[in-house]
Amino acid sequence: MSSWQVIMSPLWVAIKKNRGAHLSFWFLMTLVILAVFAPWVSPHSPTQVYPEHFRQPPIWLAGGGWPFILGTDDLGRDLLSRLIYGARVSLMVGFMVVSLSLSVGLILGVLAGYFGGRVDALIMRFVDVLMSLPSILLAIVIVAVLGPSLTNSVIAVSVVSLPNFIRIIRGAVLAEKVKSYVDASHGFGSTHFRVAVLNILPNCVAPIIVQSTLGFSDGILNVAALGFLGLGAQPPTPEWGAMLSDSKAYIESAWWLVTLPGLCILFVVLCFNILGDGLRDALDPKLKGR
């Protein structure tokens, strides 16, 4: 077995045992497939405007009709198509946020945990500063400086998620550092890099996977919040948070524009949270049943 299989196969067993996590996993996979094949799956283009069909209700309501299954928005764009493309945006955003904060978090977390002392104190002070600001506020401020756009909101949210990653990775490295295989490796004359990255890090994968899964939900939620505040994705990008923001004015007349994008956000975030919780229970038996 490759080392990848050594890590992943117990995880997969754990997911399969937990009904909620198992279900969430397949829901998310379906969503990924929908998102990847969005141009073929969605009935319309997400930006195609049908002026004669603006704010048309979903098909099962009076006034609704083919081919706009979930109705149209205030400009007459097909809601279903925009939601499917929105999945693309949100999953991509989650992936970007996790990759960004994970890669920086790995460097800083390993440095802090492995070397300790002043390096640790400095990095943890930085974490303290980031954590003393409410997450959305810090993200808003960063976007205010960089300018509102989807890319900048992803950067801002990655910075905000960073402290969690650093703390988890540092903690895991600290716990591994005292084990005897580390001493043994030092005894063979391994370099610091070799010990930290090739010996210690592979043993820290479990908490990192849990944190990354939960990081997806935080990232998606925060980027959607920025989109809602008008600081994230700009029109006509079909981003769920921005779509909600556009529909605020039609809360009384077009409820489907208000409810459906939010349900999508809730659903995806919930799936990632259930999956993350399930993985944590499986990987850290001490926390089971919490």
Partner 1 sequence: MLSLIGRRLLSSIPTLLGVSLVAFFLIRWVPGDPVMLMLGERGGSPELYQQMQAQLGLDRSLGEQYLKFLGHILQGDFGTSVVSRRPVLEEFLARFPATVELSLLALFWAVVLGVPLGVLAAIKRSSFWDYSLMSGALVGYSMPIFWWGMILILFFSVGLGWTPVSGRISVWHEVEVVTGFMLIDTWLSGGGVEVFADALRHMILPAIALGTLPLAAIARMTRSSVLEVLREDYIRTAKAKGLKHRQVVMNHALRNALIPVVTVIGLMGGTLLTGAILTETIFSWPGIGRWLVNSVAARDYPVIQGGILLISFVIITVNLLVDLVYLWVNPLLRDQI
Binding stretches for partner 1 (CB under 8 A): 125-126, 128-129, 131-138, 140-141, 143-147, 217, 221, 224-225, 228-231, 241, 244, 248, 251-252, 255, 258-259, 261-262, 265-266, 269-270, 273-274, 277, 289-290
Q: Which is nearer to partner 1, 75 or 136 (CB)?
A: 136
Q: Which is nearer to partner 1, 127 or 201 (CB)?
A: 127
Q: Which is nearer to partner 1, 58 or 201 (CB)?
A: 58
Q: Which is nearer to partner 1, 52 or 252 (CB)?
A: 252
Q: Which is nearer to partner 1, 36 or 144 (CB)?
A: 144
Instruction: Give the shortest CB-115-to-partner 1 separation in angstroms.
Output: 19
Q: Which is nearer to partner 1, 199 or 217 (CB)?
A: 217
Instruction: Give the shortest CB-145-to-partner 1 separation in angstroms.
Output: 5
Q: Which residues of 100-132 are buried (b: 16+ CB within 10 A; e: fewer)?
A: bbbebbbebbbbbbbeeeeebeebbeebeebee
C-alpha 169/C-alpha 153 separation (Å) is 24
Instruction: Give the shortest CB-231-to-partner 1 separation in angstroms.
Output: 7
Instruction: Give the shortest CB-258-to-partner 1 separation in angstroms.
Output: 5
Instruction: Give the shortest CB-251-to-partner 1 separation in angstroms.
Output: 6
Instruction: Give the shortest CB-108-to-partner 1 separation in angstroms.
Output: 15
DSSP letters for the chain: --HHHHHHHHHHHHHHHSHHHHHHHHHHHHHHHHHHTHHHHSSS-TT---GGGTTPPPTTSTT--TT-TT-B-TTS-BHHHHHHHHHHHHHHHHHHHHHHHHHHHHHHHHHHHHH-HHHHHHHHHHHHHHHTS-HHHHHHHHHHHH-SSHHHHHHHHHHHHHHHHHHHHHHHHHHHHTSHHHHHHHHTT--HHIIIIIIIGGGGHHHHHHHHHHHHHHHHHHHHHHHHTTSSSPTTS--HHHHHHHHGGGTTT-HHHHHHHHHHHHHHHHHHHHHHHHHHHHH-GGGTT-
Instruction: Give the shortest CB-5-to-partner 1 separation in angstroms.
Output: 31
Instruction: Give the shortest CB-23-to-partner 1 separation in angstroms.
Output: 12
Nearest one of 67, 69, 49 to 236, comparing CA atoms: 49
Q: Which is nearer to partner 1, 51 or 147 (CB)?
A: 147
Q: Which is nearer to partner 1, 125 or 192 (CB)?
A: 125
* Backbone torsions φ then ψ of 72, nearest 5 degrees: -130, 165
